């Protein structure tokens, strides 16, 4: 568990996201999105946060179960965030990753059971998968 606080977590996520929403990959002003909410004991660790655009943040808040299936939210698990796979598409490399509090800040992992390797089980309508880009 990260004990360095909000400033360190925000700095790591800003670097990791490179000005693009970590869900839809659109250039955006980013908001911090806790995967496990603060009310559920979620920390400011980079493994527990995503840099997301306002639209994706609102979608995750409105669809917590669907967001949980993608790892964008951690709704009811006791598993630490660094052990919960999350679907991302950094640099167009869509897949499942573990978010880490050390460099490199993410590590590719096999798709969770019942999901496809390169696709999230749910997604906002505006999220375009790399294979769908023209």
- Give the model's pLDDT for residue 1: 47
pTM for the whole structure:
0.85
Q: Which residues, including other chains, have CB under 8 Å from residue 116's CB and lie 6 or more apart? A: none
Residue-range definition of the domain harbouring residue 88: 6-114
Domain assignment present for 47? yes
What CA–CA distance (Å, rounded) separates 71 from 11? 21
Number of Cβ atoms within 10 Å of the Cβ of 57? 20
Domain count, the chain: 1
Q: Which residues, including other chains, have CB under 8 Å from residue 17's CB and lie 6 or more apart? A: 30, 50, 51
Domain assignment present for 121? no
Q: What is the dihedral of CA 112, 117, 121, 127, to 10 degrees?
A: 140
Split at pLDDT 50, 70, 90, the class of 125 is confident
Domain assignment present for 98? yes
- Give the model's pLDDT for residue 117: 66
Q: What is the pLDDT of residues 70-109, one digit of tens each?
A: 999 998 768 899 999 999 988 778 889 999 888 778 899 9
Domain assignment present for 27? yes
């Amino acid at each position: 568990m990260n004990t360095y606080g909000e400033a360190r977590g925000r700095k790591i996520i800003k670097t990791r996201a490179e000005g693009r929403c970590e869900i839809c990959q659109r250039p955006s002003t980013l908001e911090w999105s806790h995967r496990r909410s603060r009310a559920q004991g979620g920390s400011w660790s980079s493994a527990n946060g995503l840099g997301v655009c306002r639209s994706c943040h609102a979608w995750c808040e409105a669809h917590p179960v669907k967001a949980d299936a993608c790892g964008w939210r951690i709704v009811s698990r006791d598993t630490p965030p660094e052990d919960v796979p999350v679907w991302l598409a950094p640099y167009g490399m869509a897949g499942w990753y573990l978010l880490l509090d050390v460099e490199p800040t993410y590590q590719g992992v096999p798709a969770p059971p019942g999901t496809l390797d390169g696709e999230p089980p749910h997604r906002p309508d505006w999220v375009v998968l790399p294979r769908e880009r023209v």
